[in-house]
A = this chain, B = another copy of it.
Amino acid sequence: MPLSASRIEEIHRSFSGQGLMGTFAACLDELDEGRAVISMPLSDRVTQQHGFFHGGTVGALADTACGYAALSMVPPGKAGLTAEYKINLISPADGDRLIAVGQVIKPGRMLMVCQGEVFVEKEGQRKKCAIALMTLFVMEGLSSI
């Protein structure tokens, strides 16, 4: 089911309200029901000691992509909360751009399970650098996302 225009707007507003995503200069590039793609450029604000994307940056981007993928399937009037995530860093995140793809693999009424993949781009070449699993908890009674 495609998302309504107002729901898309709400989710983009939530994304814009995340200070960390602003710091990352991250964009919510794609948003479909159960899927979100977020990308960000390399900058010296997000690196580890060798100048690559920090593992914590990679984890945060994967978590956020999964979170918005899940949020796209949370019914209006409810909210989603990350319960946990796990990430395997499979290659050094050495590149100029990071792209995280989050996908709901189990939409549930109370719990959603998402899978994340993170890619790093270097001189136009894209390489998978991380894979994640994340559990989101759907809560009642919050007025906003």
Tell me the A residues contacting B by CB distance below 8 Å: 14-15, 17-20, 22-23, 43-50, 54-57, 59-61, 63-64, 67, 81-92, 105-106, 108, 110-111, 113, 115, 128, 131, 133, 135, 137, 139, 144-145
- The 5 A-B residue pairs with the shortest CB-CB distance, nearest first, are A56-B60, A86-B86, A19-B47, A17-B49, A90-B106
A87: B residues at CB distance < 8 A = 84-86
Which of B45, B110, B113 interacts with A23 by CB under 8 Å? B45
Count identical subunits in the complex. 4
* A55 and chain B: residue at smallest CB distance: B82
A46 CA to B21 CA in the complex, in Å? 8
In the complex the two chains form, is B131's CB within 8 Å of A111's CB? no
In the complex the two chains form, is B60's CB within 8 Å of A64's CB? no
A82: B residues at CB distance < 8 A = 55, 89
Given contacts A22-B45, A60-B54, A106-B91, contact A131 B131 (CB under 8 A): no
